[in-house]
Chain A
Amino acid sequence: MNSSLFLIIIPLMGAFIALFAKKANRLMAIVITLFMEIFSIIIYLSGKLPVSVEIGGWQPPYGINFVLTPLSVGFIILINLAAIISLFIIRGEKSYQFYSTYLVLLAASNGIVLTGDIFNFYIFSELTAFGITALIAYPKDRKSTGAAIKYLILASTAAAFLLIGIGIVYKTLGTLNIADIASKISLLDPLTLELIIILMLTGIFVELELFPFNMWVPKAYLGGTASVNVMLHGMLGTAGAYTITRILLTMFTVDGSGLLVNVNIANSVIVIALLTILVSEIAAFNEKKIKKVLAFSSMGQMGLIIFGFMIGNEQAIVGAFYLVVANFVAKTILFVLTGEFIAMSGSGNWEDMKGIGRKHPVAGLAFVIGSLSLMGVPFFAGFWGKLGLIQGAINGSAFMVVGIVIVLITAIIEGIYFLKIAHTLFLEKDSDREYLSKARVHSIVIAAILALAIIAIGVKPGLIESNINSATDEILNSTSNYIDIVFPRR
């Protein structure tokens, strides 16, 4: 499995070659991304998982290692899928900088998931931050520049906290390997451990789009083009969801059981996640710009996912994984179609998109299916996520009831604003309307395929059940499923 390093090496080499590829760089980017997707699927199906890969010939914890488990490779497949989709919906980008940065971002978001070393994780997360900042700033206008510099400052400050946390971990435990830290965490003084967890949480909160640190999200989505939105959501957001499972639920747990060592911190993360859901859904309700609506909804879904992971029992984690998949697919549909709609109507407000659903019924239908899944209507993929979340919360402690109430209320709010948009798309007529351009066929085909996937998962959740159960099992028994893989002799 040493060859899995090609997932990092090939895009990075491609990033250098793109400096000279002139017109072939888009083709090269597509070929490399397809290779990554196929290669990660081969790894997933090879039956050799889970496995730990040494880099440089030094065994962990002395060298850096990659940990390939069903969970991490599953996330990589999602990330590379988002990458392919984002490449297909690019509009006429030709400059080498765009593709070079994109390839670095691709390598970094794969690395963030695969790495088994905490300092290596820090470098990869910095790389993703730089890559996405450059891509957000790419249009070079007022909106995108403002969004990019604010994101860069916020991300660098957060990364500084992460680095202090890493320093304290090294000072006290003498190691940088995630599995090694996880096995030694009980040796620490409780107060010191609390400090470490708070510092690291602050470091990853920006990427997780959680409440006090998420002012950048709507600006970044508004500033970027449609394909950058798909990257931001599908690559960075998915990698962010993965960091919770690895940093929080593997490193800082009681005997690898998926429960955070410090109950107070776990509860405050739940409170923050619930606040995020509430604030972002209410903000989305009042928003006129469709990209901002989607950005706020994206924050809300992220809050839901974190809420599920933090409850910590089996049903809730299964639900959270279903939500990750459902949110990934549904939001990708919405971002792809939004890009088309905005290009057609020439306006970012959803009120100006009257009748587009009548002109392009397939696209309109896919949009509605995506939003129904986000709401959690039965027979759509998101339903199984919210169901698992609520089941888990009922079995959890008493104050989870508040969480259930908030989840249900926000589902209704979400329903109202998405139905308003759907109503505008289909029912309102604007007959003498002329559209600036036609919707591109391949975008609609992508959206339609993804919409079919949502219905397939929604009607028959058994399609991905075994994968999600193995991922859940990995979190609930991380000692045998993660630490023992990195250190087989202990």
Chain B
Amino acid sequence: MKNDKTLLMNILAIVFLALLAYFIYAVATSSDVGINLMDDNVVENRVADRYLNKNVLDENSQYEWGGKAEDSAANIVTAVLADYRLFDTSLEVIVLFVTVMGFGLVLPDERRKIKESTQLLFNWLPILMTFMLLVGGYMFINGHLSPGGGFPAGAIISTAILVGILAGKQTVSHHTLKIVEAVAGISIFSLATLGFILKGSFFINFLEGGNIGDVFSAGLIPILYTLVAFKVSAELSGVYLEFYKGGEEHDHA
């Protein structure tokens, strides 16, 4: 009986997916008038063109390497992520915040003790951790120039904490992580509000931009990425620590 039901479910799923696939094929090969899915970018005024030319505010403005522009981040993905669409990115931070909090909420309470691990990992731990912190730090400071940015940087920094746990050492306490998380979160939204107070619009990049290609350019972006990296690493480290026996202080709130 149960096997019959599973088989039926499989057949239904295959039929449904086959229909969907046929529909997508029909859409991709359709030759009606109008823009098709497979056409190359034919629409005028694509948003991306203005982002690449950095002329959103003034259609005729030009910019040069080493000169000024409306957004002086050399990495245009970063410019889109942390300046043109900064609001999305700050909400993304909230997504991680609420899911990790939900994770801590639903996880059953009994934790395991952190086990002592092999001598080898324990001896190499400081070097490994320093290396990871350096890589992470480089990433969020240079996020506006080279690939990387706050989120992978935070992930890599949190791996340092994970390695510490695997080697049998809890390097930070739950309480510290909670404070880092809250302070970074509040700072991000305070910066957004500061933009409203200074320039009349939320989430505005109100610092002087600097020149394209410099380390100290792109206005607020490096600061925001630093905050994002700290917040992400605190949250992810919190997830790892939830699996093990942590400090007593965080549970009774």
A–B touching in complex (CB under 8 Å)? yes
Contact in complex: B34, A119 (CB < 8 Å): no
Q: Does A188 contact B (CB under 8 A)?
A: yes
CB-defined interface of A413-456 with B at 8 Å, one 1/0 digit per residue?
Answer: 00000000000000000000000000000000000000000000
Within 8 A of B (CB), among A444-485: none
B residues 83-104 touching A (CB-CB < 8 Å): 83-88, 91-92, 94-95, 97-99, 101-102, 104
Question: B37 touching A56 by the CB < 8 A rule?
Answer: no
Q: Which of B138-146, B154-162, B201-209 contacts A (4 or more CB under 8 A)?
A: B201-209
* Contact A195–B24 (Cβ < 8 Å): yes
A189 close to B32 (CB less than 8 A): yes
Binary per-residue interface labels of chain A (298-316) against chain B in the complex, 1 for a CB within 8 Å, 0 otherwise:
0000000000000000000
Within 8 A of A (CB), among B20-48: 23-24, 26-27, 30, 32-37, 39, 41, 43, 45-48
Known: A12-B94, A130-B99, A192-B30. A56 touches B86 (CB 8 A): yes
Q: Does B131 contact A (CB under 8 A)?
A: no
What class of interface size applies to chain A in its complex with B? 35 or more
Closest residue to B96 on the A side, CB-wise?
A130
- Tell me if B181 counts as interface (CB < 8 A to partner A): yes
Kindly provide the distance from the CB of B245 to the nearest chain A CB, expressed in whole angstroms: 20
Q: Which residues on A sit within 8 Å (CB–CB) of B170?
A: none
Known: A20-B182, A56-B201, A134-B101. A124 touches B34 (CB 8 A): no
Distance in angstroms between the alpha carbons of A291 and B81 in the assembled complex: 44
Q: How close is A108's CB to chain B, nearest CB, in angstroms?
A: 8
**B105→A120 contact, CB < 8 A:** no
* Contact residue among A9, A55, A124, A176 (Cβ-Cβ distance under 8 Å from B193): A9
Task: Find out whether the CB atom of B87 lies under 8 angstroms from the CB atom of A120.
Answer: yes
Of the listed stretches A69-77, A97-105, A324-332, name the one at the interface; the rest are far from the partner chain: A97-105
A187 proximity list for chain B (CB < 8 A): 34-35, 43
B91 and A9 contact, CB distance less than 8 A: no
Residue A45, interface by CB 8 Å = no
Q: Which residues of chain A have C-beta atoms less than 8 A from B204's C-beta?
A: 56-57
- Convert B35-78 into 0s and 1s, putting 1 for each residue whose CB lies closer than 8 angstroms to a CB of A: 11101010101111011000011000000000000000000000
Query: Does A192 contact B35, Cβ atoms closer than 8 Å?
Result: yes
Interface residues of chain A: helix, strand, loop or mixed (majority) = helix
Query: A100 with B101: in contact, given A9-B189, A59-B56, A188-B34 (CB under 8 Å)?
Result: yes
28 A-B pairs with C-beta separation under 8 A: A12-B94, A19-B181, A19-B182, A54-B201, A55-B202, A56-B86, A56-B195, A56-B205, A59-B56, A62-B47, A62-B84, A95-B253, A97-B101, A97-B104, A100-B98, A101-B98, A104-B94, A111-B91, A120-B87, A124-B91, A134-B101, A134-B102, A172-B36, A187-B34, A189-B30, A191-B30, A192-B35, A192-B37
The interface of chain B, by Cβ under 8 A from chain A, is: 23-24, 26-27, 30, 32-37, 39, 41, 43, 45-48, 50-51, 56-57, 83-88, 91-92, 94-95, 97-99, 101-102, 104-106, 178, 181-182, 185-186, 189-190, 192-193, 195-196, 199-205, 253
